[in-house]
Amino acid sequence: MISGHVFIATSLDGYIARLDGDIDWLLQRDDPAEDHGYHDFIADKDVIVMGRGSFEKVLGFDPWPYDRPVLVLSRQLAGTPVPPGLADKVRFSNATPEQAMAQLSSEGVRRVYVDGGQLVQSFIRAGLVEDMVLTTVPVLIGAGRPLFGTLPQDLDLKLVASRSFPSGLVQSTYRFAP
Ligand SMILES: NC(=O)c1ccc[n+]([C@@H]2O[C@H](COP(=O)([O-])OP(=O)(O)OC[C@H]3O[C@@H](n4cnc5c(N)ncnc54)[C@H](OP(=O)(O)O)[C@@H]3O)[C@@H](O)[C@H]2O)c1
């Protein structure tokens, strides 16, 4: 069975980015000596699925930060060429979350890192996220792009683990109740 997994950071007021996509408040916390569990998280993921918003932000990073194949879900980008240099690393698709997971499953993919606020919301609504590692940064940014959105009904989660870092970041792992 294929499964989706989230590893994402928010401000204390629940945003993954400012309204203009800025994440400086998060990048400032980067610590070469502390990856906040990212290495362990990514170790058993086969593919990263992200929304166009996240892809456009990460395009500005040099070097390309991922060592896993990336599938970008985007109605706008589907059918357009992948930027030079990323052809063997990135694919564009206008699939729905369900279609994307079915396609990846048929390719033998088992564990998917789902990234991007709107995209994570869609995957959660579709019941395609198994667990989430949420890292809270002790900063209020007042407005921004939220991690969570509207739902047709409440969703219960189980707290699997919680830890804090000397920097003040708090990380909690949740599993969606079956
Ligand atoms: N704090 C963190 O840890 C973290 C992590 C990841 C990203 N970010 C930041 O968050 C921002 C991007 O997040 P975001 O929420 O704005 O965008 P996003 O979820 O990355 O991308 C949203 C876009 O994906 C496309 N899409 C395709 N299928 C979709 C579906 N089923 N549901 C939702 N969207 C779908 C749509 O573009 P089309 O119109 O092209 O279809 C939509 O506008 C960036 O600034 C990034 O740097 C922060």
Question: Which domain does 70 fall in, by range?
Answer: 3-176
Q: Whose CA is nearest to atom 4 of ligand 1?
A: 16
- Cβ atoms of 15 and 143 within 8 Å: the answer is yes
Are 4 and 120 within 8 A, CB to CB?
Answer: no
Q: Round to whole Å and give the CA distance between 41 and 32.
A: 17
- What's the 45 CA to ligand 1 centre distance in angstroms? 19
Helix 117-125, helix 97-106: angle, nearest 10: 80
CA–centroid distance, 119 to ligand 1, in Å, is 5
Kindly report the pTM of this predicted structure: 0.97
CATH number, domain with residue 16: 3.40.430.10
Length of the chain: 178
Query: In tens digits, what is the pLDDT along the chain, a chain of 178 residues?
Result: 999 999 999 999 999 999 999 999 999 998 989 999 999 999 999 999 999 999 999 998 989 999 999 999 999 999 999 999 999 999 999 999 999 999 999 999 999 999 999 999 999 999 999 999 999 999 999 999 999 999 999 999 999 999 999 999 999 999 998 7
Number of structural domains (the chain) is: 1
Phi, psi of 48 (to 5 degrees): -110, 130
Ligand 1 atom closest to the CA of 22, numbered from 1: 45
3-state secondary structure at position 23: coil
| Ligand 1 in reach of 145 Cβ (< 6 A) | yes
Q: Is the CB of 51 under 6 A from ligand 1?
A: yes
Q: Is the minimum distance from the CB of 21 to ligand 1 under 6 angstroms?
A: yes
Dihedral pair phi/psi, residue 97, rounded to 5°: -55, -45
Q: Which of 73, 124, 150 to mutate to test the pocket of ligand 1 (most atoms within 8 A of CB)?
A: 73
